[in-house]
Amino acid sequence: MDLLRQKLSLLPPKPGVYLMKDYRGQIIYVGKAKQLKNRVKSYFTGSHDGKTARLVSHIIDFEYILTDSEVEALVLECNLIKKYNPKYNILLRDDKTYPYLMITHERHPRIMVTRQIKKGTGKYFGPYPNATAAQEAARLLNRLFPFRKCRQIPTRSCLYFHLDQCLAPCIRDVSPNDYEEISKNASTFLNGDQSEVLNLLGAKMQTAAESLQFERAKEYRDLIEDLKRLGEKQNITLNDFVDRDVIGYAKTTDQLCIQVFYLRQGKLLARDNFIFPYYDDPEEAFISFIAQFYLERKIWPKEILIPSLESQALLSLFPITIPQKGKKRDLVLMAMSNAQTTLHDQITLEIRQQSDNTQALTTLGELLKIPCPHRIEAFDISNTAGTHSVAGMVQFIDGKPQRKGYRKYKIQPMEISDDTASMSQVIRRRYHRLVSENEPLPDLILVDGGKGQINAALKELEDLGLTIPVAGMVKNDRHQTNELMDWEGNPIALARNHPTFLLLGRIQNEVHRFAITFHRQQRTKNMTLSALDGITGIGPKRKQHLLQHFSSLAEIQQASVEELQSTGLPESIALSIFDYFHPADEHNPLQEEKSIP
């Protein structure tokens, strides 16, 4: 939750789309916002109704994509909901789509509003999130341009011909050339050049108002507003059905962030972020990334849009395009902007995390009356009613986990087997080895438990001639971090939002996760081994051999004789295993075949 609060503080007051994630990293909700900062924060402040409260209770993380306008955010939200089908989205989960305006490719073309795109049927403009504006615009365009209005060409002229709103192919021969200029003007209008029409409508509105024709003036005013909404810029969808990737990057003095937008069938459906250090020229690092990114995949889309580069090396390898204007250029700029935002957020979070870690470690040292502990090693014992006992050790340096330093321990059988005896054994084994190998020792040892575990660790360290501070991480009844205990057994209470308490919680959760995962692996393995003990001809080596080829006991039980033999076992041993798990009363074609004289 601490990381979530920090990410919330970095949200920009810009339009975009946010994707809420659960503990598994799955997207459970997609939303759009005119201002991401206010909208996303609203989920975590105040009270909510039942549905929203359930959603918020499952949010562990989120990410966002910046757009240039709320219109773009609407379109992108629609695309992402259709792609991920999030659990808590109900709008746009059916087959509805935003409308398009289309000039049909018929002999006598029409202007239509459609929600279905079929390649080759016409020229499409949109999508338009404001469906009402699209309908009104289609009606206006049909008044401005004399396209065919009827679905089926009638045998006589209609009112549209007499109003000069149709060329009337029903009563006279109209060639395709007659429509060419009309289609060109309509396309120019729909591509954004609406100034002449807007000026004309403005003049008519003014004239109607001066003539006291207020209803007519209102109609013109509404048409002008609809056309302005219609003309709002959006770059999320291109109407050419082309699969393309859009790549942008941002840099600091030592880090590069690359943002890849994936457009499929013209729609922006997903994106990836890549942040890594670079050691030479950032442009060269960007070029190397693109080459590796696509050569490893061995396939690439029809078009790859990237920003302008000095080097032309990529142009001969991939279908690279460097757009200079238009929607494609705007998409590249959007990728660059998102890369810059992602990199800024990452760096800010790292700085804040480092600052919090420094404060947490300094306070931890003060509480335990020791120097600031830069290197911490934590231990946890895991078992099931005293069986399959194991231990896990995690290492944190400057508040960050160092997974190379993690260690697993199988607890050797002892006369008295409990958590304190197990802790003694692990501490002795760990630090006897460090001393013998002249490896660096930790500044602080944390044990999962109370005074018993602390005393067990201190005694083993004393026997080894080591003086290392030891403290305990005590849990409450719900198995959550509760307090810190010093080496004398005195509890040290901490505020739940204090950086030191949060750091201890991360360490305790991590060592518990590491230990219990190892325990489960050993328990499963031992259960498998014991289940094979009753089979003739199966000794320790063959047990291990089977476990190397089958991931679980269930797979061994379900394996056929042929599958067992494929691991290298003799046929007689494979038959013994199969017979053991398949009693003689079950149908066994192989046994029946063997019994035939």
pLDDT digits (tens, 9 = 90+) for 533-554: 667 777 777 777 776 677 666 7
**Is the model's pLDDT at 307 over the cut of 70?**
yes
- 3-state SS, residue 453: helix
Residue 6 pLDDT grade (very low, low, confident, very high; cuts 50, 70, 90): confident
Low-confidence winner among 79-88, 255-264, 433-442 (lowest mean pLDDT): 79-88
360 inside domain: no
217 and 289 within one domain: no
126 and 73 within one domain: no
What does the pLDDT average to over 11-16?
A: 90
Cβ atoms of 450 and 436 closer than 8 Å: no
485 and 411 within one domain: yes
468 and 571 within one domain: no
321 inside domain: yes
**Is the model's pLDDT at 585 over the cut of 50?**
no
105 and 67 within one domain: no
216 and 248 within one domain: no
325 and 260 within one domain: yes
569 inside domain: yes
Q: What is the pLDDT of residue 562?
A: 85
pLDDT tens sequence across 476-499: 776 677 889 998 889 988 888 888
95 inside domain: no
349 inside domain: no
Q: What is the pLDDT of residue 116?
A: 78
What does the pLDDT average to over 499-513?
A: 90
Q: What is the pLDDT of residue 587?
A: 42
Residue where one domain finishes, among candidates 517, 548, 574: 517
225 and 108 within one domain: yes
Residue 441 pLDDT grade (very low, low, confident, very high; cuts 50, 70, 90): very high
pLDDT tens sequence across 264-290: 777 787 788 888 877 667 888 888 888
Structural domains of the chain, count: 5
The CA-atom distances, in angstroms, between 7 and each of 60, 62, 346 are 11, 9, 9
Burial class of residue 451 in the structure, from the number of CB atoms within 10 Å of its CB (0-12 exposed, 13-18 middle, 19+ buried): middle
313 inside domain: yes
Neighbours of 464 (CB within 10 A): 16
Calculate the average pLDDT of the chain: 82
Q: What is the pLDDT of residue 496?
A: 82
The Cα–Cα gap between 369 and 203 comes to 82
Q: What is the pLDDT of residue 590?
A: 41
Q: Is the dihedral of CA 506, 511, 512, 517 positive or negative?
A: positive
Low-confidence winner among 186-195, 204-213, 231-240, 463-472 (lowest mean pLDDT): 231-240
The Cα–Cα gap between 14 and 68 comes to 8
Portion of the chain with pLDDT greater than 90, in percent:
24
Backbone angles phi, psi at 270, to 5 degrees: -160, 170
248 and 211 within one domain: no
Higher-confidence residue of 231 and 325: namely 325
146 and 225 within one domain: yes
563 and 441 within one domain: no
Place of tokens 């630090």: 431
Name which of 577, 532, 534, 537 is nearest 558 in CA terms. 577
Domain membership of residue 405 as a residue range: 375-517
Residue where one domain finishes, among candidates 230, 263, 292: 230
91 inside domain: no
Q: What is the pLDDT of residue 526?
A: 61
What does the pLDDT average to over 300-326?
A: 87
**Is the model's pLDDT at 76 over the cut of 70?**
yes
What does the pLDDT average to over 439-464?
A: 93
Place of tokens 């053991």: 580
Full-model pTM: 0.51
**Is the model's pLDDT at 21 over the cut of 80?**
yes
Residue where one domain finishes, among candidates 53, 84, 115: 84
- 3-state SS, residue 498: coil
What does the pLDDT average to over 344-352?
A: 84
150 and 250 within one domain: no
The Cα–Cα gap between 303 and 262 comes to 11
- 3-state SS, residue 11: coil
Cβ atoms of 276 and 256 closer than 8 Å: yes
Burial class of residue 73 in the structure, from the number of CB atoms within 10 Å of its CB (0-12 exposed, 13-18 middle, 19+ buried): buried
Output the domain CATH number for residue 573. Answer: 1.10.150.20
